[in-house]
Structure 1
Amino acid sequence: MSQHFLSRLKRYDPDAIAKYYRYRPWLTIWRSLVVIGTFVGFFLGLKFDEWQGLAEVNRPRRATQIRKILTRLGPTFIKVGQALSTRPDLIRKDYLDELIKLQDQLPPFSNAIAFSIIEAELDRSVSEIYREISPDPVAAASLGQVYRAKLYSGEEVAVKVQRPNLLPTLTLDLHLMRWSATWLGPLLPLNLGHDLTLIVDEFGIKLFEEVDYQNEGRNAEKFAANFADDPRVKVPEIYWQHSSQHVLTLEWINGFKLNDFDRIRESNLDPNVLIEIGVTTGLRQLLEFGFFHADPHPGNLFAMPDGRMAYIDFGMMDQLDQTTKETLVDSVVHLINKDYEDLAADFVRLGFLTPKTNIVPIIPALEKVLGNAIGKNVGDFNFKTVTDDFSELMYEYPFRVPAKFALIIRSLVTQEGLALTLSPDFRIVEVAYPYVARRLLTGETPELRRRLLELLFKDDRFQWHRLENMIAIARSDNSFDLLPTAQLGLQFLMSEEGQYFRRQLLLALIEDDRLHTEEVQRLWSLVKDDLKPGKLLTAALGAITGLTMESAASLLPSMATLLTFQPPATELPR
């Protein structure tokens, strides 16, 4: 195998990479010495500061030094630094401020090299492809840099050009990281074990996907299709005739980064609206589509003057299966309802605990940690609190972080951190739970309707307080309209699918040999302002007209059963 082998490697293959470097030990030895020597010098500097009592004075200088070290070590370490820059729970603020600069404040490479890459990839001269192109890059990132240009057809575009000879550097660093993970993992106090290797592999898979710009273009189009019904979200158009594996031409976005507070104020944009768009679209990615942007740092999210939010850079994406999406919905609901036993079972299904784990002693530990995190008010919850407390929990109990969830956690923490910079009082659950409640109450899919039934019935008993809680929280979002939800609910109730629910609801009304008028009255007090008699009649008519003739015919026998249903002989209180 020669270096030509690396240039032909389209997907991350740790075994093939290990085999390649096994016959080139001088490369691994030299790179190891460079990396170790660089960090040893840094840590010796920190110790020297401590001995001299200069730790606080020199901390800004050390923070700048670590950013420069990561930049000097190249794209793999820059990507690691970018990941750490989204973790305020792990990194001190002064270091965090420096690491954030790794997101888009990196030194560019030569324009001559960049233009030669464009011409080699697209098989035409730059002047033939673009009517105008900026003489220098407008942004430089870890894997490439961006030029502003104009096509001959008049469209303004961004031209991404990949850094030259990336794969030899990436593969060597990934090989060393993976080798280190095999012996470092068991020594870490977080019960990661072999999963640390899987995390490196997940990182490698995503890194290889990022260096394929055609894959990024396909991701952008899939993301745009998912949000085609949301006018608040903008995704740049891809110009395929001017794109290749190492060059990507896409629509230029006129906007500014979400952490550009001055521009946001000058444009009279409401930060809370931007937060709501960001969090809601993030939740739709995870819970609705399963296809999510795994790198939503401020350099990849733009506020537009018209109030829309633009997503760019779709190199790092991931896909969740249907079961995982449904379990995530469950876990949010169980968390808010403080059902720690069910939440522990969710952790098993999601892979944070093995199926053989005895969850009984873990339940009170979850209650302690998450009960403190949620506090008396749902709005007190934040991921930083949870990650701080969970680090101790993972030390005491056999929790693991599945490789796929490393990206999800990073995405959620990043979104929360970004929102907190816009609004220090932001609490992610205040937006997240109304969204989940709305999705369950509207029940667009059979899976969500089944989830709603599982939520409302526990041990075959109707959970009145849960329904009240969901409606109250859903209504806390001013955009939530209860009338269409009532119509969908009535339609479901009168359908064949809702036969079980009709019977259970009637049983719930007379449960424990008493009429539950008090619970019904509380529910009516919640919804009466939204469901005036005229509106309720409209919803009922809409539900009836939505039924097919077959559904209506099948409904008659069950309705007759309900009408003739006799309660238990025990006398009900008057």
Structure 2
Amino acid sequence: MRGPHNIWRLIRTGATFERTGAMKVALELLDLPPAVRIAARILGWPFKWLGLRGDMDQPPVLRAITALGPAYIKFGQLLSTRPDVVGPEMAAELRVLQDSLPAFDMDVARATVAQELGAPVDEIFAEFSAPVAAASIAQVHHARLRSDNSEVAVKILRPNIERAFMRDIDAFHFAARMIEILSPASRRLRPTAVIEHFHQVVRGELDLRTEAAAASEFHHNTEKDTGFHVPRVHWGLSSHSVMTMEWAEGTPLSDIEALRATGLDMQELGARIVQMFLSHALRDGFFHADMHQGNLKLGSDGDLIALDFGIMGRIDAYTRRVYAEILMGFIRRDYHRVAEVHFEAGYVPRDQDVDTFAQALRAVGEPIFGQDATQISTARLLSQLFQVTEQFGMATRTELILLQRTMVVVEGVGRTLDPSLNIWDASRPVVEKYIAEHMGPKAMVKDLVRVVQTLSRFGPRLPEMMEAYLTAQAEPKDDRPSARTKASFGWAGVGAIAALVWVWVIAGW
């Protein structure tokens, strides 16, 4: 129900930020233009009394976000990974949103498990702990199976979480549509499509069977990756609202002091997180799209352990090649090639000039190189990139939203471990390896083999295809083309079928 009633939800959002004092803090942190700050305060202040109070013991921004609900908490989790954008103090404050939210009642948790798995908790588990982590959508319990005494993690959805999420997303849809109506220039950013994409992602996160399937696929893809581990799913003890996985012991990546106390090479770990993400995205086209500190642990064996697979990203083979070429172009500072790739992929309208676009990209990229990462303002960099996309009429690519968002999150996590992390240096080995394997002569041969395999599947249908083609050519038509045109079509058809026969014979041989 995306009607005007959602105006109330949006007004209450602004009012809550005003009432909690979060509006002033947020506007200062985001370094917005003065006009935008003034407009936000004017629009929010008259409705201040309508805002939610939240937890008075929490600081303003955290208080506002937790009061507004799960969709807002998701956004707060993203900001918690970006100390370079919101500052280290605010990032540390928001880190509570990752896995330290208030848990729901144990009786409710046990009742949900019994209902979903068809047996009382004590019949399935020899031990079942109080919540060890609680996030916006679910909480996790440590348990031990009666069947084999193995340790497991039991994830349980929060009560009525689907209704709460859908209410927020409904309001987001309404806001996006209003923005498109009131600001035609914003339509190139496709706000409605972006919210719809977010909607689809969240729907998958609210069904733990979908998450279990994602975890299983991710485990299979990464099973041989050195230094990376994905726990196994217990399918027999998983359902819509409950998911059971093997227990993964380790130090949370949010506990920086504990990580340093182990004597770990923090620079290596920061780079490894970036490289693992890129490896999964480029090699498999399937990646963890919610890699904040709350979803990562460091095992006693030094392995990076991934948790929470509710939000996963998927990109096709062509998009992977485009993305790899763009990254490699920036790494090599070949801005003209980066511009060409954007045009070849259709990301920039054809009526734009490739040389001018390359020059604009150079203006964004060059200031980054030769500087320590701590001297680079990511907020300013993103602002410049936004200006470039606006100048050249680039539309938002919904298929890349999760990829780009996760790249930002992963860089943020890496910088909490190593403030001097240079994402371009960390990315280079992975991108170069991908390009060597997927864009060189060997890759061309592999592509040709796949084409032959695809065409060969039509082999058994060749006789009927030939018969249908010849019959169609023999049928009289009132609007038949000229003899020359008909002959050209005829020879083209015969040539195509002959080529298909040749491919079939060769493939069969």
Question: Normalising to structure 1: TM-score of the pair?
Answer: 0.66
Say whether residues 1:449 and 2:441 are aligned partners.
yes
Partner residue in 2 for 1:227: 222
The 5 Å alignment of 1:106-505 reads 106-134=101-129, 136-152=130-146, 153-185=148-180, 191=186, 193=188, 195-349=190-344, 352-375=347-370, 386-441=381-436, 443=437, 445=438, 447-449=439-441
Does the Cα contact within 8 Å between 1:232 and 1:309 map onto a contact in 2? Answer: yes
* TM-aligned CA deviation for residue 275 of structure 1: 2.5
Alignment map for 1:489-568 (pairs within 5 Å): none
Contact 1:258 1:301 in 2 (8 A): yes
Q: How far apart in 2 are the matches of 1:197 and 1:43? A: 29
Q: Aligned partners of 1:147 and 1:343: how far apart in 2?
A: 47
Per-residue deviation, 1:391: 3.4
Question: Could you tell me which amino acid in structure 2 is paired with residue 323 of structure 1?
Answer: Y
Residue aligning to 2:86: 91
Q: Which residue of 2 aligns with 1:46?
A: 24
Which residue of 27, 30, 35 maps to 2:13? 35
Secondary structure of 2:172's partner?
helix
Deviation string 1:54-78 (CA, Å, 9 cap, x unpaired) is: xxxxxxx998222112111211221
Partner of 1:73: 68
Q: Is the 8 A contact 2:176 2:192 kept in 1?
A: yes
SS at match of 1:161: strand
Q: Aligned partners of 2:384 and 2:189: how far apart in 1?
A: 23
The equivalent of 2:465 in structure 1 is none
For the aligned residue pairs, the C-alpha RMSD in angstroms reads 3.3
Secondary structure of the equivalent of 1:160? strand
- Counterpart contact for 1:234–1:309, Cα < 8 Å: yes
Give the TM-score taking structure 2 as reference length.
0.74
SS of the equivalent of 1:223 reads helix
Deviation at 1:352, TM superposition (A): 4.2
Contact 1:351 1:402 in 2 (8 A): no
SS at match of 1:137: strand
For 2:142, what is the secondary structure of its paired residue?
A: strand
The structure-2 alpha-carbon separation of the partners of 1:382 and 1:169, relative to structure 1 and needing over 3 Å to count, comes to: same
What residue identity is the alignment partner of 1:265? R
Structure 1 residue 376, shift from structure 2 partner? 8.3
Q: SS at the partner of 2:272?
A: helix
Q: What letter corresponds to residue 39 of structure 1 in structure 2?
A: F
- 2:475 paired residue number: none
Tell me, in whole angstroms, the C-alpha distance in 2 between the residues paired with 1:385 and 1:411: 19
- In 2, the alpha carbon distance for the partners of 1:306 and 1:184 equals 50
Deviations 1:1-42 (A, max 9, x none): xxxxxxxxxxxxxxxxx3xx66xx76x465455434323434
Q: In the TM superposition, what is the alpha-carbon distance from 1:346 to its structure 2 partner? A: 2.2
Q: Describe the superposition over 1:80-125 as per-residue Cα deviations: whole angstroms up to 9, x where unpaired.
A: 2222333445434443332222111211111111111111111110
- Greater Cα offset, 146-155 or 370-379: 370-379
Provide closer, same or farther for how the CA distance between residues 394 and 186 of structure 1 changes in structure 2, counting only shifts above 3 A. farther
- Residue type of the partner of 1:208? R
Residue 44 of structure 2 is matched in structure 1 by none
Task: For 1:87 and 1:376, locate their aligned partners in 2 and report how far apart those are by CA, in whole Å.
Answer: 19
* Greater Cα offset, 256-265 or 323-332: 256-265
Name the SS for the 1:138 alignment partner.
Answer: strand
Letter of the 1:261 counterpart = I
Name the CA shift for 1:37/1:290 in 2 (closer, same or farther; >3 Å): same
* Partner SS state of residue 249, structure 1: strand
Deviation at 1:249, TM superposition (A): 0.7
2:391, 2:315 → 1: CA distance?
29
Name the CA distance, whole Å, in 2 between partners of 1:315 and 1:369. Answer: 34
How many pairs were matched up?
Answer: 419
Moved more, 138-147 or 268-277: 268-277
Higher relative CO (CA 8 A, sep ≥ 6), structure 1 or 2? Answer: 2
The residue matched to 1:139 in structure 2 has which SS? strand
Q: Residue 191 of structure 1 contacts residue 398 of structure 1 at CA under 8 Å; is this kept in 2?
A: no
Contact 1:382 1:429 in 2 (8 A): no
What are the superposed Cα offsets for residues 266-324 of structure 1, whole Å, 9 maximum, x if unpaired? 33322233223312211111211110111100011111111111111111001100100
Instruction: Find the aligned partners of 1:379 and 1:190 in 2 and give their Cα distance.
Output: 34
- Work out the CA distance in 2 between the residues paired with 1:231 and 1:340: 34
Q: Distance between the aligned counterparts of 1:280 and 1:29, measured in 2?
A: 43
Q: CA deviation at 1:420?
A: 1.4
User: Structure 1 unaligned runs (5+)?
Assistant: 1-17, 51-60, 454-491, 498-574
1:405-453 CA distance string (max 9 Å, x none): 2221221121112111212222122121122223434x3x4x44378x9
Deviation at 1:253? 0.8
Structure 2, unmatched stretches of 5+, are: 29-55, 450-509
Match of 1:101 among 93, 96, 100: 96
Q: Which residue of 2 aligns with 1:471?
A: none
> Which amino acid is 1:143 matched to?
I
Distance 1:379 1:168, change over 3 A: closer
* Aligned AA (2:222): F
Report the Cα offset of residue 350 of structure 1.
Answer: 5.2
**Structure 2 letter corresponding to 1:38:** T
- In the alignment, is the contact (CA less than 8 A) between 1:191 and 1:399 conserved in 2? no
The question of whether the paired residues in 1 share the 8 Å contact of 2:179 and 2:186 is answered with no
Query: 1:373–1:385: 8 Å Cα contact kept in structure 2?
Result: no
Change (3 A) 1:85 1:186: farther
* Residues 67 and 99, structure 1, Cα contact 8 Å, conserved in 2: yes
Identity of aligned residues (%): 30
Instruction: Tell me the amino acid that sits aligned with residue 357 of structure 2.
Output: I
Q: Is the 8 A contact 2:83 2:416 kept in 1?
A: no
**Which amino acid in the other structure matches residue 138 of structure 2?**
G
Provide the residue aligned with 1:506 in structure 2.
none
What SS is found at the alignment partner of 1:158? Answer: strand
Q: Decide whether the 8 Å contact of 2:78 with 2:292 is kept in 1.
A: no
Indicate how the Cα distance of structure 1 residues 73 and 322 shifts in structure 2: closer, same or farther if over 3 A, else same.
Answer: same
**SS where residue 300 of structure 2 aligns?**
coil
8 A Cα contact 1:213 1:246, kept in partner: yes
User: 1:463 maps to what in 2?
Assistant: none
